[in-house]
Structure 1
């Protein structure tokens, strides 16, 4: 455990940031899985609408710095490719 006041504060801030980052990442992953499940079920309309919300979640994670921009673009491209192949 840290003894210095600034180090204690830094630990608290890091823990809060980590919790926020985990929530953004978890939400994003859940949406990705939802789209993939809809693609497996061959539900075109629901997959398209879910893809829109997933894209927003991925963009938000990129904006917050939780994931790298290239990673976000790659995930969006893969998902949209799956949905287009379904249609």
Structure 2
């Protein structure tokens, strides 16, 4: 338990931020999984919708500094590459 009031406040703020960041990271995992599932099912239409949502979610997370902007760009790039290989085969 912190002895100083400012340290106690900082601790409370960190707990709230951790909950927010956890929610955002879970959302990232879910939208990424949706893209993977659409690609595995060979559903190009569903995959293109899922990639748009995933890119938006990743960009928002990077904007809020939950994840690094280069990590977001890397994940978007890899997901796009997966979807593009799916579309090129059809």
Compute the TM-score of the two structures, normalised by the length of structure 1.
0.96
In the alignment, structure 1 segments of 5+ residues that lack a partner are: none
Q: CA RMSD in A?
A: 0.7
Shift of 1:78: 0.4
Aligned to 1:79: 79
For the residue of structure 2 that corresponds to 1:2, the secondary structure is coil
In the alignment, structure 2 segments of 5+ residues that lack a partner are: none
Q: Equivalences for 1:1-87 in 2 at 5 Å? A: 1-87=1-87
Shift of 1:29: 1.1
Moved >6 Å (runs of 4+): none
For the residue of structure 2 that corresponds to 1:62, the secondary structure is helix
Compute the TM-score of the two structures, normalised by the length of structure 2.
0.93
Higher RCO by CA contacts (8 Å cutoff, separation 6 or greater)? 1
Q: Distance in 2 between matches of 1:10 and 1:70?
A: 28
